[in-house]
Amino acid sequence: MKILFIGFGNVAKEMARIFMKKDLYPALDISPEVIGIFTGRHGGLENKEGIDLNSVLKELEQTNRLTPDESKLSPLTPLEAAKNLDYDVLVELSALSIEGKGEPAASHVRAALRRGKSVASANKGPVSFSYGELRDLAEMNGALYLFESAVMDGAPVFNFCSRCMKGAAVRGFSGILNGTTNFILSHMEKGGSMEDGIRIAQEAGIAEADPSMDIDGWDPAAKAAALANVLMGADITPLEVEREGIRAITPKMAQDALRRGTRLKLICRGSRDGNKVRTSVRVEEIKKDDIFCLISHYGSAVRIESDLMHPNTIVQECPDLLDTAYGVIEDLITIGDHLNRCKD
């Protein structure tokens, strides 16, 4: 399987480490060959014979460059690479852009699908802004567009609904879908400040240098839009999600809730209202008999409601890069099975 990476941050690096240590994971049935790595900051590399991932990882760690010889950098842009290089699967891992309405990631995905190339992505931008179009492009061109790691860091949310709930219609969902804000709220319950909570999350590699996407609720809004679009057939964007973050919450508010036997949580919700799907992200006071009350630190959870089953809740305890990387790799395995069927 020839793979083109667009975006080579922490998740892509973790995937590369897994690829290089496949002997540690005996059940991992995948034979990847990375023929391109393209980034917005470091330029791009291409090699039709396969890129030495170990050398790239060492160079990034030591010099923050893809290669010590800049003459070896590709003249192509990421979009040109998606349009022109010879690969089987695009792994799109560039950063979420709300202001750009999912771009340039959506254009990368679009370019691959138009060529009949399948896509595995952890980027919630394209699925929250352009899902309907990309889904139809994939179907039209015999490709797959998969994105399990876009919500809950690789926990099988989309796969659960598509594989284990066949014939059931999703009527709604609710959940804690942002680990950073959940950690900060847990920290504030102990009297810590929001600023300290952000700093600790950043040092742990969970929060970005600019935490506003989390604090102001944009990241969970994108996840809510993605769930609504994929699971409920909505056609909305994060800009249409009723959104509030945790910026107005104080340690006193979090501690007062604890004294009342409840906890403050940033909750995403989606529900049907006639032919429309309404979504929201807001701080709610959760009672102690609700499973969401038990989700602490960087944990997350989502509850799926359908017409043929009682609610099912998926809980993920303190995920890290391994979880997110595995979610993308699981999508690659599914795509590999698809490619093999197409050859038969």
Catalytic residues, which ones?
A: 223
Give residues with Cβ within 8 angstroms of 80, minimum separation 6.
none
What separation, in Å, do the N-terminal and C-terminal C-alpha atoms of the chain show? 16
Look at the block and give the residue holding tokens 């964007």. Answer: 237
DSSP 42-59: S-EEE-TT---HHHHHHH
DSSP 142: T
List Cβ neighbours of 104 (8 Å cut-off, separation of 6 or more).
78, 79, 94, 97
Rounded to 5 degrees, φ, ψ at 236 are: -125, 170
DSSP code for 291: G
| DSSP-derived 3-state class of residue 325 | helix
Q: Crossing angle, helix 157-164 and helix 218-232, to 10 degrees?
A: 10
Structure tokens given for 28: 């991992």
How far apart, in whole angstroms, are the C-alpha atoms of residue 83 and residue 67?
A: 23
Under 8 Å between Cβ of 126 and 134: yes
User: Do 265 and 301 touch, CB atoms closer than 8 A?
Assistant: no
Q: Which of 228, 236, 4 is nearest to 109 (CA)?
A: 4
